[in-house]
Amino acid sequence: MAFNPDKQHTLKTEISISGTGLHTGIMADLTLKPASPGFGYQFQRIDLPNQPVIKADCDLVTDTSRGTTLEANGARISTVEHVLAALVGMGVDNCLIEINGPEIPIIDGSSQPFVEIIEEAGVVEQDAAKVWYSIDENIYHYDEEKRVEMVIMPALEYQVTTLIDFNSPVLGTQHAQLKKMKDFKDEIAISRTFVFLHELEMLLEHNLIKGGDVNNAIVIVDKPVTDSELDRLKQTFKKDNIEVKSEGYLNNLELRFPNEPARHKLLDIIGDLALIGYPVKGRIIANRPGHSSNVAFAQKIKQHIKKNRHTKDVPVYDPNLPPVYDHSYIEKTLPHRYPFALVDKVIELTDTKIVGVKNVTFNEWFFPGHFPGNPVMPGVLQIEALAQCGGILAINLSGGGEHDTYFLKIDNCKFKQMVRPGDTMLLKMELSAPIRRGICEMKGTVYVGGKVATEADLVAQIVKRG
């Protein structure tokens, strides 16, 4: 079955992997488990009392010094970025990540081990739509002290470009690009983390990287190395031989790509931006990114989405374009007649969504008796207009013909602004779940002037006439 990016996905079965944490040196067992639609990514510390759960959320990040650490409910989980990048890169939207230790295993320093177990478990489509957030304006993040610049721009897909420049003669200036997420597995996942030798020595002095190994990180030698320093590294990494290659990398480690460090920075961005909590469509360009900047950028994008999500799906109405259905078709489909025909035309129709138009005029039959002198369209009639619009979609999905739809339930109804003469109501109805046994659940929204006027969850029954 072809992968549908507009559907949510989870794992077919649970699967485990074990390894040592890079900084803590603690061995841990990690299990990826299937999860229901809308679950997202959540970590569970099964080694702690009450087995606390930590959501993958940028607002829960407490440390970004050597990886990304989340903390909630009295529990911490460190170095989350590589497993999150693998889940995003493999199209898994919902997953419970169980672990019996404080840090995700580093394995080889890349996302590849996690990609391999995800492939082994299998990825399955779920019966739920994946709601993308399409970035509609440039969002920037600057850090002058670290000379970091990041931007996300409107685009049809999720794309990432990274540029790195550490004033290192070994690294030089590198860039990496991911244009399509389907290329993550082959182009990005196998890129390993890297560290400069001077950073490595500082980490060793602070008793960090207890789980370090010359085979799970690219060590960049940016200064002359003495014999005593090499002896110390031999002891630390329990190796008989440690040496510096002429290219400036430690211990004969073969690079998987000439720009492997830049590709790993791209991997980190994908993992850290999974903490936004929303799948996004946009093009990211990141200059000199790091975990702290990635998380700050994720928080900025998340706040933008929260602020604008009510308007992100406002239908666009061009009265000059021909409608999908005009009033004559609607009259053939619905049994409603004047004064209860409340949909003038349909301007958008898919297998999950419909958008209709109701032009509100001063001559509506209900205005003389509803707030005379201060005409306001009754809220119940706005709901009725939504229901009629949804009825067209439901009947269309039932094969058309002689069907009617009847209300069963109205939930979460809110009226946010008044509808008055001269307003154009855009009536959007979206399926909340597939139609089963003639029961249709929909989310309805009335837009006026680009703002939400009314919203409600509606349930109706489709009944064949006669």
Burial class (CB in 10 A: 0-12, 13-18, 19+), 404: middle
138: confidence class by pLDDT, cuts 50, 70, 90: very high
Using DSSP's 3-state secondary structure scheme, residue 161 falls into strand
Whether the pLDDT of residue 252 is over 60: the answer is no
Bridge-based pairing of strands 139-143 and 69-72 is: unpaired
Longest dimension (CA), the chain: 95
Query: In this structure, are residues 9 and 35 in contact, taking their beta carbons and an 8 Å threshold?
Result: no
**Segment 29-40, tens digit of pLDDT:** 999 999 988 899
Measure the CA angle with vertex 173, ends 171 and 175; round to 5°: 105
Q: What was the pLDDT predicted at 121? A: 97
Q: Which domains does the chain have, with CATH numbers?
A: 7-191+258-308 (3.30.230.20), 193-255 (no CATH), 327-464 (3.10.129.10)
410: confidence class by pLDDT, cuts 50, 70, 90: very high
Which amino acid is present at 79? Answer: T
**Segment 41-80, tens digit of pLDDT:** 999 999 999 999 999 999 999 999 879 999 999 999 999 9
Give the span between the Cα atoms of 295 and 285, in whole angstroms: 15
Query: In this structure, are residues 135 and 159 in contact, taking their beta carbons and an 8 Å threshold?
Result: no
- Which position has the higher pLDDT, 401 or 125? 125
Q: What was the pLDDT predicted at 232? A: 67
Number of Cβ atoms within 10 Å of the Cβ of 352: 15
Query: In this structure, are residues 239 and 253 in contact, taking their beta carbons and an 8 Å threshold?
Result: no
Give the span between the Cα atoms of 370 and 3, in whole angstroms: 52
Give the residue from 138, 134, 154, 158 showing the smallest Cα distance to 311: 134
Number of Cβ atoms within 10 Å of the Cβ of 316: 10
Q: What was the pLDDT predicted at 407? A: 84
Give the span between the Cα atoms of 178 and 168, in whole angstroms: 24
Give the span between the Cα atoms of 264 and 257, in whole angstroms: 10
Query: In this structure, are residues 76 and 102 in contact, taking their beta carbons and an 8 Å threshold?
Result: yes
**Segment 181-220, tens digit of pLDDT:** 999 999 999 998 877 666 665 655 655 555 445 556 667 6
Q: What was the pLDDT predicted at 127? A: 82
Using DSSP's 3-state secondary structure scheme, residue 427 falls into strand
Q: How far is CA 261 from the centre of its chain?
A: 25
- For the segment 271-296, the average pLDDT, to the nearest whole number, is 96
Burial class (CB in 10 A: 0-12, 13-18, 19+), 121: buried
Residue 292 host element (H or E): helix 291-308
Task: List strand residue ranges (DSSP E) for 69-157, in order.
Answer: 69-72, 75-77, 95-99, 123-129, 133-134, 139-143, 148-153
Q: What is the pTM of this model?
A: 0.68
- For the segment 344-352, the average pLDDT, to the nearest whole number, is 90
249: confidence class by pLDDT, cuts 50, 70, 90: low
Classify residue 311 as left (phi > 0), alpha (psi -120 to 50) or beta. alpha
Q: Which residues, at least 6 apart from 429, have a Cβ–Cβ distance to it below 8 Å?
A: 353, 354, 356, 386, 389, 390, 393, 442, 443, 444, 458
- Which position has the higher pLDDT, 255 or 347? 347
342: confidence class by pLDDT, cuts 50, 70, 90: very high
Catalytically active residues are: 291, 370
169: confidence class by pLDDT, cuts 50, 70, 90: low
Give the residue from 190, 201, 194 showing the smallest Cα distance to 170: 194
Question: Which tokens in the block code for residue 409?
Answer: 């339930």
Number of Cβ atoms within 10 Å of the Cβ of 328: 9
Whether the pLDDT of residue 176 is over 90: the answer is yes
Give the span between the Cα atoms of 40 and 278, in whole angstroms: 9
Residue 463 host element (H or E): strand 451-464
